[in-house]
Structure 1
Amino acid sequence: MATEETQQIPLGLTVAVVARRVGVAPATLRTWERRYGLCPSDRSEGGHRRYCVTDVARLELMRKLVLAGMSAGEAAKKALQSET
């Protein structure tokens, strides 16, 4: 069941929009997905990534931890464990 937050974004956010919001390149989001499992919640019928509010919060945490000096692998583990 969708939460109130996800209902505000019915189709989800695109990679480009999320990348701008998080402050990384779209390729970085794809790399984080491939290497660390930071996947979007959904994909469009055409297979395009669609991120919800929770996904974005998780990615923002990942970026914050990496900027603080944590390795990307460790940051990803913490981000995936977080209940954002």
Structure 2
Amino acid sequence: MQLGTRWSMGERPPAAVPEALHAQIAAVERLIPADQLAHQPTPRWTLTWLEHRPVAELDTGVIVTLSPDGEVVVRKDDDTGIS
């Protein structure tokens, strides 16, 4: 069984986060405008596992995961209600 973890945007991902996701997580963080973060709590990442693959989701609804063939995939969860 693999447990997930949480960390704040801008922090180094914990050891539980596969190295394959680190570059895309950093790229997502660079794309978020600083003014969007003003006067709000720092968004946090949540790492979970689905079918033995890591899924890192930012509170903004951005998801970084691995496809079944091992490629890093970035997508937006449109069900978050965040625009």
Do the two structures share a fold, i.e. TM-score over 0.5?
no
Normalising by the residue count of structure 2, what TM-score does the alignment of the two structures yield? Answer: 0.33
Q: Which has the larger helix fraction?
A: 1
Normalising by the residue count of structure 1, what TM-score does the alignment of the two structures yield? Answer: 0.33
Q: Which has the larger strand fraction?
A: 2
